[in-house]
Amino acid sequence: MSANTQTATVAVLRTTPETVLDTYGEIMHLVNYQDAISSDIETLIKLNLSWTKYFPACSSQPWQVEGVVRTLLADSFAKDKLLPIENKTVVTDPIKGAHNNKWMPVLNEYGLTFTALPEVEWITYPFKGKLLKLNDIFPEGIEIPKMFPGKNVIHLPTLKTHGHSQTTGAIKNAFGGLLKEVRHYAHKYIHEVLVDLMIMQKELHPGILAVMDGTVCGDGAGPRTMVPKIKNFVLASTDSVAIDAIAAKMMGFDPMSIPYLRMCDEMGLGAADPGRIEIAGEDISRENFGFQTRKSLVIWGDQMLRKGPLRFLEKPLLHSPLVVWAPFASNLYHDYLWYPTVGKRIIRQFMKTEWGRLFQSY
């Protein structure tokens, strides 16, 4: 049992497509975000791109981006100190993703410049904190963007499941910023790596805020091939562990049974025990979405190679020049098989909803 006595506050509010921008402002103020995010310091706005293509609940929503940016500017944050960013993976393109997910119209309207992290300088950073796995995974040193140290960070995750980590949110959003394109090496030890990311962030960033979109949530084989569920919530906290724990609880999971959340709690990196988390805003004591984490074909195959009966093939297939087959197979399945068939059918139905019509309005 954890000896952690740390407490935290997570704000949860219901919203509608007509009021969502105001709701984002309300919820940020409800957690007194300016106590954590100083306007005197440059602030990274870490967007969440799980797919280059648009799919509901998969990546940061345009109204999420607008609600947060609008609030920051209204609270006298200087435009030149707000830095929207996102990285690439072996299967995502941040520039195309920023257009497909309609972040660019929002950022252009408010005069902000999007930065794709592959285009910035990366440095080997000597972390002082004791990491669980990343030093072993990257023995030559952990590279991070040179622009990160000393800046605040605001995470914009969506509320969804994940085939590798059961749930995903604010903590895993750092996975796409603090690790280079080859971060898939960390999938084998995903829970320990997510703990490492919290240790790293606390060393790098003077202020951390998470603002999560739960207007449309993702159930099933996340983070891409999910079933979108309209839930009409937004969440915010200055404790990334706590917001992910409450999101997990709302989805129907016991947060302390999820390894990365339990380990973060035990190490004092945040509060994952709902008994030590105050909920501001809505009464969500009876919320249980009944979500179930499933594994997509791609994640299932990845885990067979890393931890399953095919693990004897891990090094030649995933840690050698032969690894080019993996992103090819992933793109083939996701972009050319699942998306044009199952995905587009789901999107057509979603676009008939109020949230779908809001997306089309951007």
**pLDDT tens, 2-35?**
568 889 999 999 999 999 999 999 999 999 999 9
Note every long-range contact of 191-195, with CB atoms under 8 Å and residues 24 or more positions apart, other chains counting: 191/165, 191/258, 191/259, 191/260, 191/263, 192/132, 192/133, 192/260, 192/263, 193/132, 193/133, 193/134, 193/137, 194/165, 194/260, 194/264, 195/132, 195/260, 195/263, 195/264, 195/267, 195/269
The answer as to whether 211 is a domain residue is yes
Of residues 46, 276, 280, the one with CA closest to residue 171: 46
Residue 100, domain extent = 8-295
The answer as to whether 250 is a domain residue is yes
How many angstroms separate the CA atoms of 35 and 151, rounded?
A: 15
The answer as to whether 94 is a domain residue is yes
The answer as to whether 328 is a domain residue is no
The answer as to whether 333 is a domain residue is no
Which helix or strand (DSSP H or E) is residue 230 part of?
A: strand 225-237
How many angstroms separate the CA atoms of 299 and 306, rounded?
A: 10
Task: Provide the whole-model pTM.
Answer: 0.94
How many angstroms separate the CA atoms of 343 and 256, rounded?
A: 32
The answer as to whether 302 is a domain residue is no
Per-residue pLDDT tens over the stretch 174-225: 988 888 756 567 778 899 999 999 999 999 999 999 999 999 999 998 899 9
How many angstroms separate the CA atoms of 270 and 262, rounded?
A: 10
Average pLDDT over residues 88-108: 93
Average pLDDT of every residue of the chain: 91
Number of domains in the chain: 1
pLDDT score, position 305: 58
The answer as to whether 351 is a domain residue is no
pLDDT score, position 182: 61
The answer as to whether 319 is a domain residue is no
